[in-house]
Amino acid sequence: MKSIVVPTKDNLEDYQKLGTQSFLLPLKNYAVSYPKVYSIEEIEEMKRKNPNSEFFIVMNKTIFNKDLDSLVEILEKIETFAVQGILFYDLALLEIKHRFHLKTPFVWNQTHMVTNAKTCNYYFDNEVSYAVISGELAREEIYHLVESTKMKLFYTLLSYPIVAHSRRHLLTNYAKTSNKSDKKNLVIHEKVSNQDYLIEEISEGTSFFYHALPNHFSVLKKLDVSYVVLNESYIDHAFFLQLLSYTNRYLQNEISFNEMLETVNKLLSSSAPFLDNKTIYCVKKEGR
Amino acid sequence: MKKVELLAPAGDLERLKVNLLYGADAVYIGGEKYGLRANATNFSLEEIKEGCIFAHKFSKKVYLTLNIVFHDEDMDGVEHYIHQVVDAGIDAFIVSDPFLISYIKNHFSNVEVHLSTQNSTTNVLAVSFFQKQGLDRVVLARELSKDEIKEIIDKTKIDTEVFIHGAMCTCYSGRCTLSNYVTGRDANRGGCAQVCRFAFKAEDASTFTMATKDLNMACYISDLIDIGVCSLKVEGRMRSLYYLATVIGTYRRLIDAHYEKKLSPAMLSSCEKVLKRVSNRENSTHFFMRDEDYTDQYYTGRQELSNQDYLGLITDYDTKNKCLIMVERNYFEVGDSVEIFTPSGEVFQMVIEHLYDEDMQKLEVARHPEQILKIPFEKILPPYSMMRLINKKSEV
């Protein structure tokens, strides 16, 4: 099991020094819900400069007809410099992989939909190599999924969770109706749950993030996946490196699970919303 | 020429019948599990069977939603359930999970599989992917424009279903878990608490809301038919009988008028007026002809109006006293102008001159919902005829 980082710095040395050699890079114009994105030329350059590192490219935006020609071009371009994989949301990408017999491994990354083993296996049989487990699963569901699928998996260990995404430009619209300055991000508060959400708008629409850093590290005790994802977006760099360091030291057997968790628990006070609380499915009472 | 399908939401058996009687060509329903309206009444296997028999008698169809995002525990029993529902006579499944597309197509040749809008399918190649899995129809994302829909139809030739009326999500379907985080109810497994309609506080303590106005595509029905959409879908499995009868009856009139080349601006205006009165929110055509903008949403708090036009459901006829028998829903009084409408499209306008209770005791006002009332009327009307207010006595 390796750590894989969504960086916010172009220079990867800080992460590499701590033992991380795998990176997820959101692709400019094709990734949503990531504040730092990279052009295809920048990714190519990073790959050239870091020959010992692994790179996966995130392309998780909703695709429209007007995007398709350029999407084919960019996937063919990526094919030429052999990255470790492409994280996709829209099925248009998988259709292009099939049509053009692309060799680059694909990672099923439909944010809230990677929730059961049979569907993971379905995608595995359709030339998808990996899946990113959804963040809304409970601990036992995660372990069960990992045990039950043929698919290699990613699990997001550290991130401000992506909660929702809209095609609408909600902050621009809000500014227009309320005579406020046109901001591209805003924190809103929901009083009943006492939770904050960060809203960020880009040209592709608006993303919602849970504005707390949930602590998922206890799941590591029994987790057996290919990669654990640590997403630096919106996190202070020094703080992030501290957490990355403890993660890598545990993964490299330098410290025990208890030692790692004890330290992380001191740094991350927010509990993970779903890890020990399954979401309610049917709110209707039995017996109709 | 194959006529476009009018597809209606049915939360229970009575709504299923009302929809079909008022002109829907097909209904979509939820079973007791696996549908995205877990809090609706939903259908038992026996009720699914009864609903299918009723629909098939009129050569109409019933589709079952099986469109939750499945967790492993939900998968237990789903295959057995699919077999049971096929035996009950269902015509198509609406699914979001591609595993189920292949499972159903591999096991049954007599049912269709439709891809749910939960997948937010927005482009030609994504449709092509699912076509190869055996998909019969795609329910397109509600974020698409007319040109985008047309291009998908022209290039894939697949049957397409498009929402024409009802509530809209703020975010892409399937890409929203606000409900999960705020309330613990799983939006993608039938528990959506509609958190996008909540009021939030912004950093400067002002109120931030983002609730969408409802969709109303009455003025673009001809455009949708002309570009080749196969099915026009109305949202609202939890809506009232009156709402469904009004909305489905109105769209039936519009669709029929289009094919008969009788869809005039005056008729459209009259239908839009009826649709607006039954709605409790303002409406918009959202993405269909333009980019979305601030007029599609409420940004200053939740703005919903209570509608009290629905006066009652006509349940029978008193032949001795020549009176309609009805169950009251909302307050009205002698002197009010009303309209009675029937499933076959007949409309009778009148002023209430006399009003009686169940025992033929004279009343001046009807003020008790669920009270049995009698109103003199010369004609026996079909079941599920309804009465609505046109003008209060005081407004005449």
Instruction: Count contacts between A and B (CB, < 8 Å).
Output: 212
Are the beta carbons of B38 and B191 closer than 8 angstroms? Answer: yes
A79 — phi, psi (to 5°)? -55, -30
Mean pLDDT, range A196-218, rounded to an integer? 96
pLDDT value at position A269? 80
A119/B70 touch (CB, cutoff 8 Å), yes or no = yes
Interface of B with A in 141-180 (CB under 8 A): 141, 143-144, 148, 151-152, 170-172, 174-178, 180
pLDDT value at position A283? 62
Q: In whole angstroms, what is the distance from residue B139 CA to residue A79 CA?
A: 32
Would the CA dihedral through A89, A95, A98, A100 be positive or negative?
Answer: negative
pLDDT value at position A287? 40
Residue A10 to chain B, least CA–CA distance (Å): 29
A281/B189 touch (CB, cutoff 8 Å), yes or no = yes
Chain A residues near residue B172 by CB distance under 8 angstroms:
62, 165-167
Which residues share a beta bridge with B357? B373
For residue A156, give the 3-state DSSP assignment: strand
Residue partners of A111: CB distance under 8 A and separation at least 6: A60, A89, A132, A134, A135, A162, A165, B175
Per the structure block, which two tokens stand in for B382?
């079909």
Chain centroid, CA B280 distance in Å = 14
Mean pLDDT, range B330-359, rounded to an integer? 96
Per the structure block, which two tokens stand in for B374?
């009698």
Question: Quick one: pLDDT band at residue A5, thresholds 50, 70, 90?
Answer: very high
Residue A50 to chain B, least CA–CA distance (Å): 34
**Amino acid, single-letter form, for residue A277:** N
pLDDT value at position A181? 83
B167 — phi, psi (to 5°)? -65, 150
Are the beta carbons of A230 and A3 closer than 8 angstroms? Answer: yes
CB contact B121 to A (< 8 Å): yes
Residue B40 to chain A, least CA–CA distance (Å): 8
User: Does A113 have pLDDT greater than 80?
Assistant: yes
B198/A190 touch (CB, cutoff 8 Å), yes or no = yes
The mean pLDDT value of chain B amounts to 94
Q: Rounded to the nearest 5 degrees, what angle is found at the Cα of B292, between the Cα atoms of B288 and B295? A: 110
pLDDT digits (tens, 9 = 90+) for A54-106: 999 999 999 999 999 999 999 999 999 889 999 999 999 999 999 999 999 99
Mutate to test the interface with A, among B96, B176, B180, B183 (most CBs of A within 10 A): B180
Of residues B5 and A270, more confidently modeled = B5
Q: In whole angstroms, what is the distance from residue B289 CA to residue A219 CA?
A: 48
pLDDT digits (tens, 9 = 90+) for B354-395: 999 999 999 999 999 999 999 999 999 999 999 999 999 887
CB contact B296 to A (< 8 Å): yes
pLDDT digits (tens, 9 = 90+) for B259-316: 999 999 999 999 999 999 888 888 999 999 999 998 898 876 556 666 789 999 999 9
Would the CA dihedral through B79, B85, B87, B93 be positive or negative?
Answer: negative
Interface of B with A in 70-89 (CB under 8 A): 70-75
pLDDT value at position B4? 98
Residue B301 to chain A, least CA–CA distance (Å): 12
pLDDT value at position A288? 37
Q: Output the CA–CA distances (angstroms, integers) from residue A79 to A44, A63, A93, in the order listed.
A: 11, 19, 13
* Token pair 């030739």: residue: B157
Q: In whole angstroms, what is the distance from residue B352 CA to residue B364 CA?
A: 10
A280/B143 touch (CB, cutoff 8 Å), yes or no = no
Percent of chain A at pLDDT exceeding 70? 98
